[in-house]
Amino acid sequence: MKVLLVEDDHPLAEALAEALRNVGVLVEIAPDGKTADFQVSVECYDAIILDLGLPDGNGVQWLSGWRARGMDLPVLILTARERWSDKAAGFSAGADDYVTKPFETAEVLLRLRALVRRSHGHAHPVITVGDLTLDTHTGRFTYLGMPVSLSAQEFRLLSYLIHAAPRIVSRTELSEHVYDQDQEPDSNVIDVQISRLRKKLDSDSIRTVRGQGYCLPGHPTAP
């Protein structure tokens, strides 16, 4: 999961970003609406965490502009404002969910995972494709019923594939959503990670579709 965090409170932004990175979320920070506006126009994200109180305009105004331009990413509003009128304005502008400061990082993570899961068409928090299962509440994978130990990058890659299943995911799409901006475009990091995942699961757990990308065999099934 790749997330854009739009927050002008630097200590808060860094603390939240670090907490999310520790559980495998790729986070980029924008300190104001203008920077965020540029980022969403040049980068691919799976969700946005948006503070309403930005130094260059209300977050609702920026969100309204993005929705007007056709941006359909899930947006989680993060703000100190508790009045219902502020929440209503956020939802009216196109927000998908709302968390009020102070908050628990675990709640933000759960809400983010739920938004991304629903954006991929998964209603239930447990996603199963073939012998592979992801519990999006706990952030844990099992294969053939056994827990799988993954690095943060392996988790992001496999999580993206299982959310996208049965669709074939191109190398470009994986690079945009799973890896850092400064990753070398011609790096073999994807091949290395896919190889490691196959060793931890089995050789047929991830399919390579020549000239197109990768996918998980099978279709999502209801728990």
> How do the domains of the chain map onto residue ranges?
2-119, 126-221
Beta-carbon contacts of residue 54 (< 8 Å; ≥ 6 apart): 6, 8, 32, 33, 62
Please report, rounded to a whole number, the percentage of residues in the chain having pLDDT higher than 70.
94
What is the average pLDDT across 21-35? 91
| CB count in 10 Å sphere of residue 33 | 23
Q: What is the pLDDT of residue 181?
A: 63
Q: Is 161 exposed, middle or buried (0-12, 13-18, 19+ CB in 10 A)?
A: buried
Question: Tell me: the pLDDT tens digits for 32-63?
Answer: 999 999 999 988 899 999 998 899 988 899 99
Number of other CB atoms surrounding residue 103 within 10 Å = 15
Q: Are 13 and 29 in contact (CB under 8 A)?
A: yes
Q: Tokens representing 117? A: 């899961």
Q: Which H/E stretch holds residue 154?
A: helix 152-164
Is the pTM above the cut of 0.75? no
* CATH class of the 2-119 domain in this structure: alpha beta
Q: Mean per-residue pLDDT for 204-213?
A: 91
Continuous segment of H or E residues that includes residue 216:
none
Compute the average pLDDT of residues 86-109: 84
Q: Give the Cα separation of 119 and 14 in Å (integer).
A: 26
> What pLDDT shows up at residue 222?
62
CATH number assigned to the domain covering 126-221: 1.10.10.10
Reported as a pLDDT band with limits 50, 70 and 90, residue 182 is low
